[in-house]
Structure 1
C-alpha cells in the first residue's frame, strides 16, 4: 500500500475509542510492504524461519519459564515474593519472544502457540498495576525493589532501571501481536502503559533521556496504530532530552558511566558520530529516523544522515558487525576495528537492520538495503547456531590459538544470564518478509532477493509479484507478475553494490581488483537496457499477467581490502561471493586458520556442498601456509588447499581457530620464548 492511512483508519475503528487521524501530514516517502502481505517459499530463509518457529521460539519460552522470568509476572500479580532473576530488564525476554511468536503465527498458524500466547498475555495483564505501570522488579515488592530500580518509579531510569526499555519492548510486542492476530489483549496493556508514560514525561513534567533506548521507536509504532499524537510527541521529547552529560573520557576506567555511552553527551541534532553502547545507539538512530519522517524535522534528518555516514565509513566490520569494543559494548574511535577482540553484539546487528530499513524508507537509496543485506547474511546470521537454539552474544572476527596469542575459544550457548540476543533473534527472523519490498505510489522496490510472493496495491488495484531464485548461492533472479489489475507501476530492482564493483557504500572496504562482469536484465526473454537510479534498475513498462523479469548478478569470488587506517587489516584480504563473506575454520584446514596466506592473484573455486552445514557454497584454493617444525627449528611455507565457509556458519562443528582476514604475504616472524609463553598464559 502507498500510505499507512488505510491501516491507521482500520485499526482506529477496530479499537473504537481510539482516534485515527483524518490525514497524515508527513511520513516516510517509501512504505515497507507489510509482513502480512509477503509469503516466503525461499530455500535459504524458509528453513531458518521454520527452525525459529519450531525450535528457537519454544526454547525461548521454555527458558523464560525455567529461569523464572514468567514467575516474576506471576509474583507481580500476587504482589508477593522476591524478584527471581538477575536483571530488571529480564521482563523484555518475554516481550521479545511474544513479538517473535506473533510474527511467526502469520507465517505458520498454530492454535497451540496462539493459546499459549493468550495465557502468557493474561499473566502480563495481571502483573500490570491499576494506573498502567508494568515493571515486575518493583511491583513484586515495592518496599524492596531491585537495587537498580531506585526507591521511587523512574528515578534511576537513565542509569540502571530500564523501566522505559521494558515499556518499549512491550509496545513492540503488542503491535506485532495485534497486526498478526487482530487481538487487542496485549495492545490494550501497552496502551495503558503508554498513557501513563505520556502523563509522567514531557514538557513541564519529568525529564529524562531514557538510559536504554527503544521506547522512542516503540511509541512511534503505537502512534501509527492509534493516531494518538501524544505518543509521537513523547517520542520526540525523549530524543530532545539528550545532551546533558559530558562525553567519554578514554582515561576513565568506568566506560559504563558517561554521557557518550548513553548518547547523551550532546543534543541529538548535534551528534555527528556513532558513539557509545552500540545497541542503544542504533535503537536511538532508528527513532531519530522515525521522528524525522513523521514530523519533517530537517535538523534531526541531517543528524541521522551524518551519523550513518560516519558508521559506514569508519565503524563497520566487513561482516556487518558493529560495536567493536567489549568495554561498554560500544563503538570505538574512527577505524578502531580490531579482529581478535571484536565485540559485534548480536543485538547490535538486529538494531542495525531496523535502522537501515528506516534509512531506505527515508531516501530510497539502495546503499541502505546493501548494508541491511550484508548484516542479514553475515553478522546477524552468525549469532544463531544451525540448531536454532545455541547463540553467540558477541561475534568474533578471529580466533587464534598459538603460544604468542592464547585465546579462549568461544562456543555457542543456549542462554545467557543477560539473554537479550537469543530473544532479539527470535523476533527478528519471522519479521523478515516485511523487509523484502518497499513502495512509493506506483514505484515498487525490490530490496531483498527472497523467493515468495507479495500482494500489493497500486492505485487501489491488486498486483501480485512472485520471486524465484537460489540466492545467495546463485545470482540468477526471476520475478513474475502473477496478477496485475493495473499495468501502471514501475519495478525497481536493487542492483547490489557488490555487483557494481562496490564492496561498501564508502571507502572503508574496496575490492582488491576490478571486475569486467556485468549485470544483465531480460524481460520476457529479451535483453533490455535500464536506467540505474540510486542503485535500482528502473523497469518502467505496461505490465501484464505472466510478464517475467530475469536479472543475472555476477557471483565471482572477490577479495576485499580494508581502508589503510584500519591497522589490523593492513596487507590482508577478506573473501566475498555475492553478499556472503567467508572465513576459514580449523576443521577444514588441517587444524589451523591463522597460518593461511592468500597471495595476490589467488584463484578460487566455488563448490556447492548441500551436505555441509545445512547446505553451503564452499570456496577452495591452493595457497601457501606457514608450517613450524619445533624439532628442527625451521619455518617453511607449503602448498595446501584453503577451504572457506560462509562466516555465518562458523562454530557449528566444535571449537578451534577461525579467521576472516588473510595476510597476502609473510612480512615478519614473531619469535616467542617459552618463558614469555608461560607468563602470557599465567595472565
Structure 2
C-alpha cells in the first residue's frame, strides 16, 4: 500500500521526464519537507526505522521470502513460503527503508537495499515478467495457474506484486535518485503493455494495487500509457461471470464477484462490498485516475461508496471489515464487536483513500476519518516494541468457555505478513498528512510538533512550525515566519477537528451522548480571533509577519459516544473518547475482567498522564458496576474503579479481556441450563 503520493507531488520537478499537467486540486506536503520533533509520533517513527524495518528484513530471510528470489534466479525450487504474493512483502519493506534513508542516511542499509534490488533484477525474466513462484518453475500452487495471468482475476496476485513493486521503485528513486529499481519497474510495466489493454487480454486484477502503482509510475515517468493501463484495469470490473458453488454460506460474496469488487462496473457501484483492503486500494486508484483525467463518473461512484462505507460500515476506531470469512465488509450497520475483523491493512487503505478524497475536495471530514483511523485502528496494529503485530483489531475480547475470543496475542510475524510490512512502509509517510496546499492557501490538517518550509507564491516561502502535546493536550501553537522581511499575505486554513466541534463522526453513524458548549478558541499574537468555519477549517487570511503565532486551544473533554440505533450490537452501550483517542478497558487494570462491567452514564472521568505506562499514555479513571456470580446461583454487583487506556495500546501486557463499548444498565440475564 503507500501514500507517499504526496512526495511525488512535491518532487516531480526534480524528475527529468515530461511534466504532468492534471492532478489533485489540493497537494499534500511530502514528509521530506516536514521535520518532526513530536513526543507522540517521532518515537514511533524511530522504532519503525530502527526496529520494525530490520526485524521485517530478518523475518523475510528466516521465512524464505528472500530465498524465493534466489530460487527464481536459479530457475529451480519450490515456493518456500505459503503464498505467491509473499514477493510483495520484500517490496513494501524496501519502500519503507528507502524513505527512512532519506530521513536518516544509513550506508549499511543503503548497500543492503541495493543488494536486494540486484537480486530482484536477476529474478526478472528477459521480457520483464517478475513473479518468483512461476520463474523458479513451481506451478503446483493452486493459485497461480499453468500459464501467466491465468488466475489473475482471483488469487494469483501477479499484478498485485507488481503494484507494490512500482510503489517501492518510485519511492526508492525519489528518495535516493538511483534508477536501479525504477528501471526494473519500467521493464515490467512495458511488458504488461504487451499483454493487457484494448484488443489484448482483459482482466480485473484479483487484488487491487496495480492501479495505484501504475499511477505513481506515470507521475514519475510521464508515460501516458501507464495511466491508461491503470484505467483499463479499473474499467475491466463487472465484466466477468462467476460460477455458482453449492454449500457456500457466503455465496453472495463469492458468486457475484463482490469479494473482488468485480460484481458490476465501478461506475455503477454504490456501496462498499467484499474484501476491505482490496476495496480501499481500488477506491484510492480510482481517485488517482479521476484526478488526472477529470473522470466525473469515477467521482460520482466514489462519493456514493464513501457515504455507504462511513455512514453504515465503519467501526468507532476507523476500522473497516466486519466479516472474517472474507476479511471485509458486512451488511449495512452490522458492526459486531467481538467478531470485528478490522485488518490493519484495511486501516492503511482507508487512510490512502480518505487522503485522496481530501485532495480532491478539500473537506475536513475526510481528514476527520483519517485522524480517527490513524490514532486508533491503524497504530493498534503494531506493538509498542516495534516487532509484534496485530492482523485483526476487534472491539472486544471475551472469555468464552475458558478461552478468549478474537486475536488477542500480538505475533512477531504471520504466514500472511502483509500487515507488518505495510506498517513498515506506512509509518515514514505520517508527516506527509500534516499539511496541504492549494494555490497560495496552506492547510493545517494534523497536529504534531514539527517544522516545514513551503513555497506559497513563486519565490515566496514561509516556515511554519507547530508546538503541541497533542493528542494528550489541546493547545497547539503555530508559528508563521515568512522569508520575506516585508511579510507575506496568504490564507491559513486550520482544521477544527469534528470531535472539537461536538461532531463525533462526519456522518450519523456515531454521535456524542451529551452535547458540550465548549468551543475551540483561537488567538493570533494574543488577540482573540472571531473565526468562521468553512469545510471544517478556520480560515485566517492576513499578511503574515515574522514571529506571528496562532494559538489554538481545543477543549479536551472526556465524551460518551453512542452508535446509530441501527447498529444492534451497541444498543444501550456507550464508548469513551477524549480528543482523537478512543479508549478501552483492559483486563490488567480492571480486576482481570471487562465483560462484567456496567458503566453508569454521565460520570466525570479523571485524567492522568502516566509516563511509565505503555510508553506514556493518558489514562481515564471512573467507576463501574462489576457483576459477579457466586456458586453458580446468585448474582451480585459491586462498584469498582474503572481504568481506561487508549485502544491502540492494548494487547501489550499479556492476554485477557478488553472492550470499547460498555452497557450502561443491566437489561436482562441469561440463565443457563444443561
TM over 0.5: yes
* Separation (CA, whole Å) in 2 of partners of 1:380 and 1:407: 21
| Candidates 200, 211, 219, aligned match of 2:195 | 200
Contact 2:9 2:27 in 1 (8 A): no
How far is 1:458 from its partner?
A: 1.3
| Candidates 187, 191, 200, aligned match of 2:182 | 187
Which residue matches 1:148? 143
Q: Is 1:112 matched with 2:108?
A: yes
Contact 1:409 1:656 in 2 (8 A): no
Contact 2:18 2:222 in 1 (8 A): yes
> Residue by residue, what CA displacement relative to the aligned partner does 1:182-235 show, whole Å, maximum 9, x if unpaired?
111111111111111122111111100000000001100111111110011011
Which residue matches 1:441? 439
Distance 1:95 1:292, change over 3 A: same
Which residue matches 1:678? none
| Candidates 33, 38, 44, aligned match of 1:48 | 44
Equivalent residue of 2:259, what SS?
A: coil
Contact 2:375 2:581 in 1 (8 A): yes
TM-score (norm 2): 0.96
- Count how many residue pairs are aligned between Structure 1 and Structure 2: 664
How far is 1:409 from its partner?
A: 6.1
> Residue by residue, what CA displacement relative to the aligned partner does 1:228-271 show, whole Å, maximum 9, x if unpaired?
10011011111110012469999644555541000000000000
TM-score (norm 1): 0.94
Which residue matches 1:507? 508
How far is 1:7 from its partner?
A: 3.8
Q: Is 1:10 matched with 2:14?
A: yes
Which residue matches 1:680? none
* Separation (CA, whole Å) in 1 of partners of 2:10 and 2:350: 29
Contact 1:72 1:83 in 2 (8 A): yes
* Separation (CA, whole Å) in 2 of partners of 1:430 and 1:165: 22
Equivalent residue of 1:261, what SS?
A: helix
Equivalent residue of 1:132, what SS?
A: coil
Q: What is the 5 A alignment of 1:546-585?
A: 546-585=547-586
Which residue matches 1:68? 64
How far is 1:277 from its partner?
A: 0.3
> Residue by residue, what CA displacement relative to the aligned partner does 1:505-535 show, whole Å, maximum 9, x if unpaired?
0000000010011100011111111221100
Equivalent residue of 1:159, what SS?
A: coil
How far is 1:80 from its partner?
A: 2.4
Equivalent residue of 1:607, what SS?
A: strand
* Separation (CA, whole Å) in 2 of partners of 1:163 and 1:302: 30
Which residue matches 1:679? none
5+ residue gaps, structure 1, are 14-18, 676-683
How far is 1:36 from its partner?
A: 1.3
* Separation (CA, whole Å) in 2 of partners of 1:256 and 1:652: 36
Which residue matches 2:208? 213
How far is 1:8 from its partner?
A: 3.3
> Residue by residue, what CA displacement relative to the aligned partner does 1:405-439 show, whole Å, maximum 9, x if unpaired?
96366200011001100000111001111111110
How far is 1:147 from its partner?
A: 3.1
> Residue by residue, what CA displacement relative to the aligned partner does 1:137-196 show, whole Å, maximum 9, x if unpaired?
111117x36432111111110111100000000001011111111111111111111111
* Separation (CA, whole Å) in 1 of partners of 2:347 and 2:97: 20
How far is 1:627 from its partner?
A: 2.1
* Separation (CA, whole Å) in 2 of partners of 1:406 and 1:280: 29
Contact 2:338 2:406 in 1 (8 A): no
Distance 1:409 1:186, change over 3 A: closer
Contact 2:11 2:174 in 1 (8 A): no
* Separation (CA, whole Å) in 1 of partners of 2:339 and 2:9: 47
5+ residue gaps, structure 2, are none
Contact 1:344 1:394 in 2 (8 A): yes
In terms of mean alpha carbon deviation, does 539-548 or 75-84 score higher?
75-84
Distance 1:520 1:355, change over 3 A: same
Give the RMSD, CA atoms, in angstroms. 1.9
* Separation (CA, whole Å) in 1 of partners of 2:407 and 2:6: 49
Equivalent residue of 2:446, what SS?
A: coil
Equivalent residue of 1:491, what SS?
A: strand
* Separation (CA, whole Å) in 2 of partners of 1:84 and 1:301: 42
* Separation (CA, whole Å) in 2 of partners of 1:402 and 1:135: 43
Q: Is 1:655 matched with 2:655?
A: yes
Which residue matches 1:586? 587
How far is 1:490 from its partner?
A: 1.3
